[in-house]
Each structure stands twice: as structure tokens, then as C-alpha cells.
Amino acid sequence: MASFQMTCSCGDVMKVEAETREEGVTKMKEMMDQSAIEKHCAEKHADQPVMTVEDVHAAIDKDLVAA
């Protein structure tokens, strides 16, 4: 298994273990559902509107890289 990660604009690094990048993207999207996004935004982006699932998933598609 390989490690894949992405860094949020707040500096928070999120990681997943997967066989391929595509599997990593799927796992990260499953992990970052509406509830997780709301929690992350409340903790790390309290002064900003909550990000949409669509925006977060688009960022995962674009920004997830091998660690």
C-alpha cells in the first residue's frame, strides 16, 4: 500500500493508504463527507462559510498526491 495526502489551505494534512491514487481519491472522498467537512470547517475555518461537498471533492481530485 502507498500513502496519499493533500494539504488544506489551513495547513492541515490529510492522509489515506491505498493501492493506487484512484483508490486514494475514493477513500479520501468517503472520509470527507458532509459531517467531516462541517467538523473540519468549524475547527480550522471558523471565520469562513462551510465548504460544499462538491468543492471539497473537486479539491481531492486535483490535489491528492503520493506522500
Q: Write the pLDDT tens digit of every residue in 17-60.
A: 999 999 999 999 999 999 999 999 999 999 999 999 999 999 99
Q: How many structural domains is the chain composed of?
A: 1
| Angle, alpha carbons 13-28-8 (nearest 5°) | 30
Residue identified by cell 490529510 is: 14
Residue identified by cell 475514493 is: 26
Full domain range(s) for residue 46: 2-66
Angle between helices 53-63 and 21-31 (to 10 degrees): 160
Quote the pTM value. Answer: 0.90
**Which of 19, 43, 44, 14 has its CA nearest to residue 29?**
14
**pLDDT value of residue 63:** 97
**Would you place residue 66 in the very low, low, confident or very high pLDDT band (cuts 50, 70, 90)?**
very high
**pLDDT value of residue 21:** 98
Angle between helices 53-63 and 34-44 (to 10 degrees): 80
**pLDDT value of residue 57:** 98
